[in-house]
C-alpha cells in the first residue's frame, strides 16, 4: 500500500509548479501538521522545525490565539475592499505602529514582502522625484516588478520604473571585497564604496537606498559597527530615502521587534511581512515616516491592491502582536540567541572542521560550511545535500542557503528544544565529516 506521504507527493508532482526550481527532479517533503516548533509529515514522522518554514513562522505553528482570531474574523466579515474602513485593519496598523519608532504613523498593507518593497520604492521615487535605487549585491527583496509595467491603463504611467537599479557590495568580513582585516575596516571601506557609487551615479538621481537591516538569505550578514549609522549619514547628506527591509529580520527574529533597534540607525521607510503574523495569512506592508506620508495628503498615491489590509490578515496581525507581547516572544528570541545558540553554535567551530564561521543574533544564525578552513572554499553542493538528508533523517527540518546552514527556528523555541536541535546538527556534521 502506498503511504500517505507518497500519495501527496505524487499529487503535488502531477499539478503543482514550484518556485525557484527545475521541476523534473523535485521531491518535496509532504507536511501535514504542526504545533509550536514541531511539524509532521503525512505518515506521522515528526521534525523539529529549525527553518521556521521560509524563516517566517516566528510565533510557531498553529498558535491557538491566531487560528481563533482568523476563524472569528472569517465568521464576521471575510473580505472587505481596501477603500472602506475596517476596525480590524485599523487595529492591526495601530499595533504595528506601536512597535515602530516615533515619527511613523501610517501603514500601507500589501500581500507580502516583495510588493512591500515595490511600494516603498514607489514612495521614495515619488517623494524625491528621482529614479535610482541602490541595494546590495548580496540581498533578496522579492520577486515582482514587471506587473505594473505590463499594465495598459493610467496606473502604468507613474510606475514605469524597470530601470535605475544600482548595486554595491556590503560588508561581509569573512569573504571581504575590501581586503579588510577588521570589522571597522570593512565598515569604513564599504561606506566609502557606497558613497563613491552615489557620487559616480549622480547624487541627484538616487531616490533610495534599499538594504536589508541584516541581509538574511544572503547569509545573515550582521553589519559591522558603524555601518548602518554611516549609511544613514550618507543618505541624509545626499537627500536619499533610506528603506530598511525588515521582511525577514523583523518581528522577533533578531531578538528585537525590528532588527534596526540593535543598531544606531532609523530608516525613513520600513518594509515588513513574514514574522508580523508568521505567514498564517499572506500579508506585508510599508511603515511610512510622517514627512513621506504627508507628501500624499493632497497628492494621489498611485499604488493599490485588492487585498490591501485584508481582514483575515489584519486579524492574524492583531492576534500575533498581542501574543508576542504577552508571551514575551521577542525577549525569548534574544535570550535563546545569547544563552543557547551563540555558545553552542560557536562551539561547532571546535568540534567540526567543516564550520568556517558562525554569525547571527536572536534566532537568526548562519553556520558557514567550508571544505577547507584556510581557503574558505564553500562545502560543495553534494555534501550539503548529504547533510540535509542526514538531518532530516534525525528529525530536524533544516534551512540551507548555498553553503550555509541557517539556524532559524521559531522565536518561541525553548532552551531544551534549541539544545536538541544543535545536538542533532553536531551529530549530522560528525556523520558527514
Applying CB under 6 A, the residues found at the interface with ligand PLP are 112-114, 117, 140-142, 212, 216-217, 245, 247-248, 273, 284
Least Å from the CB of residue 302 to ligand PLP: 21
Least Å from the CB of residue 182 to ligand PLP: 27
> Which residue in 367, 370, 373 sits closest to 345, CA to CA?
367
- Paired residues of 49 in beta bridges: 397
Residue 253 near residue 408, CB atoms below 8 Å: yes
The span from the first CA to the last CA of the chain, in angstroms, equals 37
Q: Using CB atoms, what's the residue nearest to ligand PLP?
A: 113
Between 113 and 428, CB nearer to ligand PLP? 113
Rounded to whole angstroms, the Cα distance separating 178 from 167 reads 15
Rounded to whole angstroms, the Cα distance separating 195 from 384 reads 37
Between 273 and 387, CB nearer to ligand PLP? 273
Between 142 and 230, CB nearer to ligand PLP? 142
Least Å from the CB of residue 243 to ligand PLP: 11
Between 220 and 358, CB nearer to ligand PLP? 220
Least Å from the CB of residue 99 to ligand PLP: 18
- Strand blocks (E) in 80-205: 104-110, 132-136, 165-168
Between 210 and 396, CB nearer to ligand PLP? 210
Least Å from the CB of residue 272 to ligand PLP: 9
Least Å from the CB of residue 248 to ligand PLP: 4
Between 140 and 364, CB nearer to ligand PLP? 140
Least Å from the CB of residue 236 to ligand PLP: 23
Q: Which residues of 304-323 are buried (b: 16+ CB within 10 A; e: fewer)?
A: eeebbbbbbbbbbbbbbbeb
Rounded to whole angstroms, the Cα distance separating 228 from 234 reads 10
Q: Residue 388 is inside which H or E element, if any? A: helix 381-393
CB-facing half-sphere around the CA of 403: CA atoms within 13 A: 17
> Which residue in 403, 323, 331, 393 sits closest to 363, CA to CA?
331
* Burial of residue 65 (number of CB atoms within 10 Å: 0-12, 13-18, 19+): middle
Amino acid at each position: 500500500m502506498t503511504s500517505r506521504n507518497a500519495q501527496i507527493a505524487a499529487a503535488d508532482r502531477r499539478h503543482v509548479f514550484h518556485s525557484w526550481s527545475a521541476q523534473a527532479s523535485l521531491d518535496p517533503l509532504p507536511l501535514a501538521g504542526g504545533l509550536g516548533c514541531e511539524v509532521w509529515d503525512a505518515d506521522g514522522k515528526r521534525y523539529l522545525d529549525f527553518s521556521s518554514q521560509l524563516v517566517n513562522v516566528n510565533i510557531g505553528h498553529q498558535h491557538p490565539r491566531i487560528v481563533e482570531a482568523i476563524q472569528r474574523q472569517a465568521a464576521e466579515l471575510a473580505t472587505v475592499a481596501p477603500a472602506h474602513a475596517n476596525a480590524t485593519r485599523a487595529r492591526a496598523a495601530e499595533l504595528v505602529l506601536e512597535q515602530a519608532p516615533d515619527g511613523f504613523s501610517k501603514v500601507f498593507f500589501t500581500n507580502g514582502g516583495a510588493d512591500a518593497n515595490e511600494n516603498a520604492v514607489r514612495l521614495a521615487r515619488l517623494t524625491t522625484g528621482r529614479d535610482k535605487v541602490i541595494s546590495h549585491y548580496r540581498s533578496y527583496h522579492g520577486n515582482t516588478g514587471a506587473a505594473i509595467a505590463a499594465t495598459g491603463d493610467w496606473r502604468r504611467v507613474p510606475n514605469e520604473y524597470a530601470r535605475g537599479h544600482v548595486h554595491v557590495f556590503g560588508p561581509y568580513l569573512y569573504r571581504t571585497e575590501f581586503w579588510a582585516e577588521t570589522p571597522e575596516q570593512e565598515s569604513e571601506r564599504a561606506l566609502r564604496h557606497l558613497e563613491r557609487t552615489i557620487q559616480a551615479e549622480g547624487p541627484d538621481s538616487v531616490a533610495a537606498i534599499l538594504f536589508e537591516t541584516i541581509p538574511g538569505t544572503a547569509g545573515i550578514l550582521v553589519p559591522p559597527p558603524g555601518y548602518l549609522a554611516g549609511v544613514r549619514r550618507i543618505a541624509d547628506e545626499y537627500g536619499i530615502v533610506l528603506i530598511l527591509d525588515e521582511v525577514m529580520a523583523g518581528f522577533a527574529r533578531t531578538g528585537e521587534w525590528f532588527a534596526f533597534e540593535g543598531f544606531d540607525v532609523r530608516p525613513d521607510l520600513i518594509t515588513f511581512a513574514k514574522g508580523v503574523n508568521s505567514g498564517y495569512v499572506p500579508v506585508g506592508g510599508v511603515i511610512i515616516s510622517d514627512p513621506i506620508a504627508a507628501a500624499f495628503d493632497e497628492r494621489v498615491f498611485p499604488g493599490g491592491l485588492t487585498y490591501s489590509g485584508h481582514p483575515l490578515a489584519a486579524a492574524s496581525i492583531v492576534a500575533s502582536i498581542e501574543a508576542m507581547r504577552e508571551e514575551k516572544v521577542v525577549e525569548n528570541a534574544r535570550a535563546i540567541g545569547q544563552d543557547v545558540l551563540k555558545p553552542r553554535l560557536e562551539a561547532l567551530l571546535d568540534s567540526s572542521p567543516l564550520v568556517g564561521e558562525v554569525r547571527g543574533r536572536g534566532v537568526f544564525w548562519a553556520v558557514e560550511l567550508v571544505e577547507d578552513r584556510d581557503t574558505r572554499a564553500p562545502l560543495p553542493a553534494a555534501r550539503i545535500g548529504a547533510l540535509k538528508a542526514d538531518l532530516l533523517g534525525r528529525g530536524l527540518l533544516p534551512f540551507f542557503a548555498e553553503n550555509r546552514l541557517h539556524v532559524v527556528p521559531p522565536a518561541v523555541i525553548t532552551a531544551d528544544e534549541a539544545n536538541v536541535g544543535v545536538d542533532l546538527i553536531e551529530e549530522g556534521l560528525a556523520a558527514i565529516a
